[in-house]
């Protein structure tokens, strides 16, 4: 049984981070899930047993991550396998919010899970020791906020054009038009794509597609029956065929198959 706690950090971290989270408990049996793209990057510190990143074609194969890692922006599902002691502490960055904490383009993380020692050397190991010694969630989050604030001071925010584009795409989802955004901010499409590559890790079009897909996931929610034509239109898809293609691209399932296999977490699907 797993328990979860979330915490919204104070400013200035709140400008860049959606929330911090803590999950812990024990799993007697293997738990393997496909996790859909959602437009966010995460930093995860593992205080429990190793986690397995499964091969997307053959879930029996994969790589184990023992201490801490960065899960970059994704354009396809990833499959994670957990068992035994689960004790994870995470940072869920807002879209574009991770950029000030790094010194290179976020596209280097895209569709990757990267061990943090490849990025920060041993800097995260001291944090990991501090988090392991914290007995209460509030102390865990206090240590994590302090560590993040130290790294935020040396970073810089995305350009105003990227910030505006992110806001427009998230607000309008399927109705967002990249051409109009480019005209408004006075950047060329090529410039905006280059800045998104650096500050977000996805192209504007990819990010908009994922936002539209996530709007469909939210609209489906936990409804027992779904009007697919209404859902496709409400989320900004051209027609049902377009909706099915896009949904399958980001989930690996048709919308109807997703409905049959949907569990307690909308962006997770159990994998055999």
User: What's the mean pLDDT in 170-183?
Assistant: 79
Does pLDDT of 212 surpass 70?
A: yes
Q: How would residue 153 be classed by pLDDT, with cut points 50, 70 and 90?
A: confident
CATH pick for 2-152 out of 2.60.40, 1.10.101, 2.60.120, 1.10.3470: 2.60.120
User: What's the mean pLDDT in 247-269?
Assistant: 95
Domains 2-152 and 160-267 share a fold: no
User: What's the mean pLDDT in 132-148?
Assistant: 95
The 3-class SS string of the chain reads CEEEEEECCCCCHHHCEEEEEEEEEEEEEEEEEEECCCCCCEEEEECCCCEEEECCCCCCCEEEECCEEEECCCCCCEEEEEEEEEEEEEEEECCCCCHHHCCCCHHHHCCCEEECHHHHCCHHHHHHHHHHHCCCHHHHHHHHHHHHHHHHCCCCCCCHHHHHHHHHHHHHHHHCCHHHHHHHHCCCHHHHHHHHHHHCCCCHHHHHHHHHHHHHHHHHCCCCCCCHHHHHHHCCCCCHHHHHHHHHHHHCCCHHHHHHHCCCCCCEEECC
Does pLDDT of 52 surpass 80?
A: yes
- Looking at residue 185, its pLDDT comes to 87
CATH pick for 160-267 out of 1.10.10.60, 3.30.230.10, 3.30.2130.10, 3.20.20.140: 1.10.10.60
User: What's the mean pLDDT in 34-55?
Assistant: 96
Q: How would residue 102 be classed by pLDDT, with cut points 50, 70 and 90?
A: confident
Any idea where the domains of the chain sit in the sequence?
2-152, 160-267
């Amino acid at each position: 049984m797993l328990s979860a706690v979330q915490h919204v950090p104070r400013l200035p971290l709140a400008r860049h981070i959606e929330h911090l989270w803590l999950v812990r408990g024990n799993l007697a049996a293997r738990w393997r899930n496909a996790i859909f793209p959602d437009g966010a990057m995460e930093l995860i510190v593992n205080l429990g047993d190793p986690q397995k990143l499964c091969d997307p074609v053959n879930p029996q194969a994969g790589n184990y991550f023992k201490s801490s890692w960065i899960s970059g922006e994704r354009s396809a599902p990833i499959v994670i396998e957990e068992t035994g002691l689960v004790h994870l502490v995470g940072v869920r960055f807002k879209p574009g919010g991770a950029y000030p904490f790094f010194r290179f383009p976020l596209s280097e993380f895209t569709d990757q899970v990267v061990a943090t020692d490849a990025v920060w050397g041993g800097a995260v190991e001291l944090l990991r020791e501090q988090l392991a010694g914290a007995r209460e969630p509030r102390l865990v989050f206090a240590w994590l906020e302090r560590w993040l604030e130290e790294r935020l001071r040396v970073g810089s925010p995305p350009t105003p054009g990227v910030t505006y584009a992110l806001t427009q795409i998230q607000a309008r989802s399927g109705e967002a038009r990249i051409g109009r955004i480019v005209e408004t901010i006075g950047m060329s499409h090529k410039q905006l794509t280059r800045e998104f590559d650096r500050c977000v890790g996805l192209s504007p079009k990819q990010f908009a597609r994922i936002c539209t897909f996530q709007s469909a996931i939210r609209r489906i929610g936990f409804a027992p029956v779904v009007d697919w034509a209404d859902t496709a239109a409400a989320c900004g898809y051209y027609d049902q065929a377009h909706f099915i293609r896009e949904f399958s691209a980001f989930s690996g399932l048709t919308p109807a198959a997703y409905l049959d296999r949907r569990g307690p977490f909308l962006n997770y699907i159990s994998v055999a």
